[in-house]
Amino acid sequence: MSFNTLGLSESLLKAVSKKGYKTPSPIQEKAIPLILEGKDVLASAQTGTGKTAGFTLPMLQILDQGPRLRKRPIRALVLTPTRELAAQVQENVRDYSLFLDIRSTVIFGGVNPNPQITALRKGVDILIATPGRLLDLHSQKIFSLANIEMLVLDEADRMLDMGFLRDIKKILSLMPEKRQNLLFSATFSKEIKKLANGILNHPATVEATPENSTAEMVIQKIYKVDKNRKTPLIIKLISEGDWQQVLIFTRTKHGANRLSEKLSKKGITSAAIHGNKTQNARTKALDGFKRGKVRVLVATDIAARGLDIPLLPHVVNYELPNVPEDYVHRIGRTGRAGASGEAISLVCHDEQDYVRGIERLLGLKLPTDMVEGFEMSATPPPPRENNGRPQQRSHQPKSGNRKFKKRPNRFKSNANKGRN
């Protein structure tokens, strides 16, 4: 099948051809005709399958063929969970609307809002946004959502994970009830189905791949190694393998910074990307990585979704995530759009349970090996203090009269920490 058979206009086909695409992916082949028919769609697609173009192309065609309104009120809204994904969607919209009279802009937090406000006041047909910045600017009466004809929730499962449900409901209340709704998610969890039931109207369901599957073109490996030898091992793999583009995942922001610094000291150009970095720093690091100026990008799970890095050959789990589904999203950064890729996980004694959880989710046994000179010890090393000496466990009974200061509940506001 070719894009010519999907019912797309000549202007859109010209833009697709300019980007070098000839054959639609399965999600594009299934979703585009349904969206062009005006149906609500609930779509599950593995990352890297071209789902962004799957909703962008028909959205552009519907808006282009619709009536022109004065002052260009916002007619389509795309909500994304992260700034990086929002920027990626805007890039796709801009590329595919090259030969159309369609204006679009993107808004997200972490940057000066003034340029975003200026763009909105000039009038746009399509707005791509993260929930936090959208509600912030809307509360300032910068724009209206009263003319929305189409709503897209991209990476909807991730939005729920980040605590955006309340924001989504608030945004829905600002739009007309009659509109076309598209919900894209990596999984069809109970929470996603519940959300879909409250938004979608008799939706067509599209599944491009089995739920929680991993890309067939991704070669997965586990290297067992002691925790304190992971850094020397990753340096060896990158250097001796002559890896030129590697995405490494750590569990914490501080861990990402430390690893990036150690790699740089060994002459391996590296940058860290996580939530504590400013948006400009994150954009600069990602751009350098895509252009080949930065050899290694060390990231927390903020980068597990939405990063579009063509032909990325290597993904490394420096530390395994404690949620098995996040493993799928991480390694989905490689093996995209038919290209091959390699996903390596460095696993220490403490992470064996994580491996079992991932294998249960995937329904397969992951191949395990050790690198000569970096073999995992038979028993886990004792816990160590900062001075490097083994900790001495105290066997003294706890005093029944000791009073402990009650800690404030740090988790009440966690839902808002991920606001973008």
DSSP 87-137: HHHHHHHHHHTTTSS--EEEE-SSS-SHHHHHHHHH--SEEEE-HHHHHHH
Q: Which residue has the higher pLDDT, 262 or 45?
A: 262
Contact 39, 203 (CB under 8 A): yes
Q: What is the arithmetic mean of pLDDT over 282-310?
A: 81
What pLDDT digit, counting tens, does each position of 159-187 carry? 888 889 999 999 999 999 999 999 998 77
DSSP alpha helix (H) spans, 127-200:
131-139, 156-161, 165-172, 190-199
Question: What pLDDT score was predicted for residue 399?
Answer: 42
What pLDDT does residue 308 have?
65
DSSP reduced 3-state for 3: helix
Work out the average pLDDT over 80-88.
88
pLDDT in tens, 227-246: 999 999 999 999 999 999 99
Q: Note if the pTM is more than 0.75.
A: no
Task: Provide the percentage of residues in the chain whose pLDDT is more than 90.
Answer: 58
